Amino acid sequence: MASAPPTADALSDPNNPLVNISCFDLLLIELVPLAERMARAFEASLDGHSLGSPASPTSKRGTSGATSNPSTTTHSSSTATGANSAVGAGAGSPAPVPSGTGIVLAADGLPSTTIFRDSVYVRLERLGFRVGEGLSERFSCDRPRFTDQLDVIKFLCKDLWTVVFKKQIDNLKTNHRGVFVLTDNKFRPFARMSMTTHADAVARAQPHLYFPCGIIRGVLSSLGIKATVQAETAELPSATFQIKTAQAKP
C-alpha cells in the first residue's frame, strides 16, 4: 500500500525526518574518501602531464628533429620512471611512512600534498555550498525577511543546523563587526570518529569540516551575505566555525 505524500506543513517542519538520519550520516562519511580518491586521480594526471605526454611541447620538439641534450633526456626518463612507480604504488598498498616524520597521510595512506589538499577542499566545499543554498531557499521561503546579519546567523544556528545535524549550535559569539564564531560541542560527523593518537584524530578530522563550511557559506550567500568560513577542531567531537562577512572590520 502506497503511503500518502507529505503535507505542506510536514515539508516546512525542520524537525520532520524526510531522510533517514543514518543514511545521511553514511553519505557524509563517504563524501570525504570519495573526494580524496578523485583528488588523488587528478594529482596523478597532473604528474603524468608534467612528465611529458605524446602531445607535450617536449615531444613535439623531439619529433621535429631539434637537438636534445642526452643528459637531460636521461634525467627525464629516470624521473618519469620514479613517478610512474609512485603512481603504481598508489593503486595498490602504499609504502608505510616512518612515524615521527610529521608527514600527514590521506585516507588512502599516501602523503597529502598541497595540490591534493586544495583539490579535496574545493570539491567538498562546493558540494556543501550547493546544499546550503538549497536548504536556505527551502526553509526560509515562509519566514519574514531577515533584518540584519545576526538574524541570519541565528537562523543558521537553530533551524538549519537542526535540519542537517539534528541539534542546534551550542555557542555563538560575535564581535558585532561582522565576525561570528559558532561552536558545536558534539559535532555529529565526529561522534563515532576515533584514532590511535590525538594528533592523528585532529588531522584526519579536518577534511570532514570542508563540507559543513560550504553549507554555511551557501546559506549566507543565498540570503545575501558574502563571507568566508573556516573551521577547526582541537578536541573531538567538538568543532568551531569562524565566519567573516564582507563587512567584517578588524
What is residue 104's predicted lDDT score, i.e. its pLDDT? 61
CA distance 55 to 52: 8
Give the pLDDT of the chain (250 residues) as one tens digit per residue: 445 555 555 555 555 655 567 777 788 888 998 999 999 998 888 877 655 544 444 444 444 444 444 444 444 333 333 333 333 333 333 333 333 334 466 666 667 788 888 999 999 999 999 999 999 998 998 888 898 999 999 999 999 999 899 899 999 999 999 999 999 999 998 887 777 788 888 888 999 999 999 999 999 999 999 999 999 999 889 999 999 998 776 6
* pLDDT at residue number 122: 94
Q: What is the pLDDT of residue 193?
A: 79
Query: What tens digit of pLDDT does each residue of 143-174 get?
Result: 888 989 999 999 999 999 998 998 999 999 99
Q: What is the pLDDT of residue 136?
A: 93
Instruction: For domain 31-42+106-245, give its CATH number from 3.30.390.30, 3.90.1150.10, 3.30.1380.20, 3.30.710.10.
Output: 3.30.1380.20
Q: CA 222, CA 217: separation in Å to the nearest integer?
A: 9
Q: Give the DSSP per-residue string, 21-88.
A: HHHHHHHHHHHHHHHHHHHHHHHHHHHHHHH--TTSHHHHHHHTT----HHHHHHHHHHHHHHHHHHH
| β-pair type (239-245, 227-232) | antiparallel
Q: Where are the domains of the chain?
A: 31-42+106-245
